[in-house]
Structure 1
């Protein structure tokens, strides 16, 4: 009799992994499929550049140029950019194993984020600074960091013109939210330190020419909106159940 609950738990664990991995690959395929082409993406990038100049936040080019004389820093930021997204599955596993009450809600937030991103990428395709801002050096391709040169070649299944919003910033902000919400009562100092992670990622995507400042702000807003929608849906579900 005791083997049945254990087997059931294992099945649920494997099912959870399968659904998340499949969902991520479907997300990538759909994101590539909604690519509306270079003209629209370049036009939107120019709009973002003009708006940032008006707001005096156009700092992508000077930050990118400041890296030219520092090859070691270029490689460090390149590796950090590529590897930072691995924090998402690590945090998911940590939540599942040690903070199960938080896991379900935060997993839903992550799914909502990805669905909203697909909508935004379709509505507002945008070429990143490395493609649309004169003078910006694509360090990942120039130094071929972790296959960066090959990843810049247009090919089926990849959308290179989807800089708005910055999903690197969104994903790492989600990680910080997850750690903060899970640890703020038991270890408040460690919880606050988690916010350094998305901040560092924001700096890295700027200096490497991957995103504009407005893309970063949109990534943070995406997380906030997804949390709000998840809370609203959860509240409505609880109210509906209480009235039945």
Structure 2
């Protein structure tokens, strides 16, 4: 009986894992399809990039060149920023999802739904409003740090068949980073849980320094995530678990009978009832 239950539990776990992988595959295929749809719309994407740049100046947002410029004189810092952009985004998301799936399933489901919804909305915006990043928009004056200093995850935009480089808004780097930070804060106690916010803050700085996003790209991603999290149900609190080991029955004395007094010197083993095993 135990062997059968174990086999069913393992089969159910593998089925859940297969569903999760299928969801990732669907989102990846949708992203690839979006890349083909925007092919040939470089002029529109560049014009939209210039419009966003002017809008930021109208809104008095800080100039991105003021952030990137001082770092260009330090090759090591620029390479660190490029490496963070290239190698931290996806692995950090996967590690967070796997940990939550194993330890906090309810929070995993909420994070998975938030990431899927954010990615789906972003794909629609990427197709409907192609937007060139500042590193490809000459008006901004920003440098493509990945191409100049390395490492770079992108090839020439006209021949790149793997990624959609005209999909700057919203920034999924910023949106995903904030989503996993919020999820980890929800399952962490104490003041140290606020340290998880360092990841989205560093990510927001990195995407600007590397010339991959405007400030507004991150702002739009944050607004979309806030709306999505407000709609999704909050996970139920985790139930307390009993320590491992055999459970001992609780011994409870029987109620006294009216009119009789028991001699405290006489043991009352006969008046003892046993409760069935349980939590008490």
Give TM-score, length-normalised by structure 2. 0.75
Out of 120, 126, 130, the residue aligned to residue 121 of structure 1 is 126
The answer as to whether partners of 1:96 and 1:103 remain within 8 angstroms in 2 is yes
2:181 corresponds to 1:176? yes
State the distance in 2 between where 1:218 and 1:171 align.
Answer: 13
The residue that corresponds to 2:73 in the other structure is 69
Following TM superposition, by how much is the alpha carbon of 1:165 offset from its aligned partner in structure 2, in angstroms? 0.7
Unaligned ranges ≥5, structure 1: 235-244
Which residue does the alignment assign to 2:250? none
Residue 151 of structure 1: CA displacement? 6.2
Range with greater deviation from structure 2 (188-197 or 5-14): 5-14
- Residue 211 of structure 1 is aligned with which of 205, 210, 213? 213
Contact persistence 1:31–1:159 (CA under 8 A): yes
Distance of 2:128 and 2:56 partners within structure 1:
20
In 2, Cα distance between equivalents of 1:201 and 1:84: 9
C-alpha distance in 2 between matches for 1:135 and 1:81: 20
Pick from 141, 150, 158 the counterpart of residue 155 of structure 2.
Answer: 150
Q: Counterparts of 2:78 and 2:210 in 1: how far apart (Å)?
A: 8
Q: In 1, Cα distance between the equivalents of 2:23 and 2:7?
A: 24
One of 122, 144, 150 as aligned partner of 1:138: 144
SS of the residue corresponding to residue 158 of structure 1 reads coil
Distance in 1, Cα, partners of 2:154 & 2:125: 27
Contact 1:205 1:211 in 2 (8 A): yes
What displacement does 1:144 show?
3.0
Normalising by structure 1, what TM-score? 0.86
- Structure 1 68/82 Cα, relative in aligned 2: closer, same or farther at 3 Å? same
- CA distance in 1 between partners of 2:158 and 2:5 (Å): 54
Counterpart CA distance in 1 for 2:32 and 2:107 is 28
Q: Counterpart in 1 of 2:277?
A: none
Which aligned segments of 4 or more residues in structure 1 are displaced greater than 4 angstroms? Answer: none
**Does the 8 Å contact 1:173/1:195 carry over to 2?**
yes
Residue 53 of structure 1 corresponds to 57
CA distance in 2, matches of 1:75, 1:46: 27
- Tell me if the contact between 1:142 and 1:149 (Cα under 8 Å) persists in the aligned partners: no
Higher share in helix:
1
Kindly state the Cα deviation for residue 2 of structure 1 after the two structures are TM-superposed: 2.6
Q: Does 1:110 align with 2:115?
A: yes
Query: Which residue pairs with 2:224 in the alignment?
Result: 222
Kindly report the root-mean-square deviation, in angstroms, between the aligned alpha carbons of the 2 structures.
Answer: 2.1
Residue equivalent to 2:9: 6
In 2, are the aligned partners of 1:137 and 1:209 still within 8 Å (CA)? yes
Which whole-Å CA distance do the structure 2 matches of 1:3 and 1:219 have between them? 42
Task: Point out which structure has higher relative CO (alpha carbons under 8 A, 6+ apart).
Answer: 1
Q: Which entry has the higher C-alpha Rg, 1 or 2? A: 2
Correspondence for 2:200 among 198, 201, 213: 198
